[in-house]
Amino acid sequence: MQIAITRQLTGAIAMCELTHLARTPINVERAQAQHAEYERALGDAGCAVMRLTAADTLPDAVFVEDTAVVLDEVAVITRPGAESRRLETTGVAAALARFRPIATIRAPGTLDGGDVLRIGKRILVGASLRSNEYGIEQLRGFVEPFGYTVESVLFRGCLHLKSAVTLVAPDVALYNPAWVQAGVLGHVQVIEVDPSEPASANALLVGDTIIFPSEHAGTMSRLASMGLELMPVPASELAKAEGGVTCCCLLVDEVV
């Protein structure tokens, strides 16, 4: 069984980091309800959900994806690019240590899990405001011994690489061509987002199921018309904090 590590959403989210969006009020009750639906969807998709608590001093803690890169062989604890997020890693590292050997990105390296897209044994890392060359190099050192390659990828217009592209099947990528070039993705099949929904490339693939923000109807119908299995969840409040569906969990596969 796959474990999905999530983290409590608190009222502190009002103080979240913002890069590309202007601050608009987040309805905390609605955000918590949407987060609960998301956790339910993870359960329906076959995950055992493990929710970590979060202190009020960690506004972005719900975006647990950024704190680690979990592979079958190792969990790499990141050093998030935003200073306000660095303390988030402590609780996550403690949780992941139950399942994987741990490696840790050190200063001056920075890395956000949202920049890390794994396609089989290829790991693409967005060179972003959050993930620097030292962080990418340290990640390479940790994972190359296990047969992974690490490539630094340029993108623009959004916070993380996975805001611009994610996998919707093991060899099919959903992407926004205005933010990242298909060429960097290699030989996978590509689907473009609906141009009227630029922020809709962030999909969470759990087994054969795609957990997807219900607000992006145009891109959703593109995916559905390809016969892909969708599980829509409301994600409008987290979008105001520049979060999407991959950001709110860390998937830990059972290693057999």
Tell me the window of 100-108, 158-166, 170-178, 217-225 that interacts with ligand CIR (CB under 6 A). 158-166
Query: From edge to edge, which strands make up the β-sheet containing 68-70?
Result: 68-70, 75-77, 102-104
∠157-161-162 over CA atoms, to 5°?
Answer: 115
Answer yes or no: 160 catalytic: yes
Answer yes or no: 247 catalytic: yes
User: What is the end-to-end Cα distance of the chain in Å, rounded?
Assistant: 10
Q: Is residue 179 within 8 Å of residue 164, measured between CB atoms?
A: yes
Contact with ligand CIR (CB under 6 A): which of 60, 68, 138, 211? Answer: 60
Number of residues near ligand CIR (by CB under 6 A): 18
Phi, psi of 210 (to 5 degrees): -110, 110
Written as six digits, the tokens of 184 are 């960097």
Residues 99-138, mask of contacts with ligand CIR (x by CB under 6 A): ---------------x------------------------
- 166/209 with CB nearer ligand CIR: 166
Is the C-alpha dihedral spanning 152, 69, 156, 212 positive or negative? positive
Contact with ligand CIR (CB under 6 A): which of 3, 9, 26, 63? Answer: 63
Ranked by CB distance to ligand CIR, the top (closest) residue is 114
By CB under 6 A, name the binding residues for ligand CIR: 16-17, 19, 60, 63, 65-66, 82, 85, 114, 159-160, 163, 241-244, 247
